Amino acid sequence: MTETDSGAADIRLVAIDMDGTLLDPAHRLSPRVKQAIARARAQGVRIVLTSGRPVSGLAPFLAELGIDGDEDYCIACNGGLVTRVGSGEVVVEYPLSFDDFVFCERIARELGVHFQALDGKRLYTPNQDISHYTVFDSHLSHVPLSYRSVADMDPSMSFIKLMMVDEPSVLDAAITRLPYALTDRFAVLKSAAFFLEVFDHRAGKGPSLQTLAAHLGIERSQVMAIGDQENDLTMLQFAGTSVAMGNAVDVVKATARYQTTTNAEDGVALAIERFVLGS
């Protein structure tokens, strides 16, 4: 860790980003990370996975970690959805409308980038030349993928996530040209070099983590958050103990109070061992 600390703090909830943080570069849970999480949970500490993925993309790892009871929670879709894992009860939800979909798809088309939308059960793209990043996201999120023109979409649909996706250089160039009409209407941020997320201004990992902590009667000072990308910034800003991964982007490292090792070096385990277990 890059800042000294006397040992374990009074941490009652640990919010952990998934890709680039909890999971190693092969998108797996390492034995040391699993052990640290198990030890923390045995002490009564809540482990909350927080991700841009939908719940279906979190489910295999929640099961592997044993975080699957009625008293367990997860934050999905960058804070657009908070659910009780065992029952599926929704604690927080910020759906986007079909009009939102049409508006954002038009802007993506004008900017020359690929576009996709998730309704919770299926990933849709209006692009006939489907981006390989969309295929990747479908696989990662464990949701089926469909090509569907805007005219063929059901106007009664709502969505939990809208995204612009493309090669990093193409996406970065598009970001410099995002119209005010988009950024005024929605919160917009990158969750990966090739993903630009569009969601309700009220959502975000930080606001949803704050709502969940209040729901559970946990103080801000008792929350630790660990992340690596821009979509983790608000939860790092909220948490009493904030930790950036060694592989985090610069703005995350500048925001977090502490820095751990990379996701290839069990950085999550090291942070839990230090601040929760006191070892």
Query: What positions carry a catalytic annotation?
Result: 17
**DSSP assignment of 149-162:** -GGGS-TT--BSEE
With a CB cutoff of 8 Å and minimum separation 6, the contacts of 173 are none
Report d(CA 12, CA 224) in Å as an integer.
8
DSSP structure string for 4-62: ---S-----EEEEEIIIIIS-TTS---HHHHHHHHHHHHTT-EEEEE-SS-HHHHHHHH
Residue type, position 103, single letter: F
Can you read off the two tokens belonging to residue 13? 């909830």
Spatial distance between the Cα atoms of 6 and 275, rounded to a whole number of angstroms: 9
Closest CA to 232 of 191, 269, 198: 191
C-alpha to C-alpha distance for 10 and 251, rounded to whole angstroms:
27
The sign one gets for the Cα dihedral 92, 193, 168, 184 is: positive
Whether the CA torsion 36, 37, 39, 40 is positive or negative: it is positive
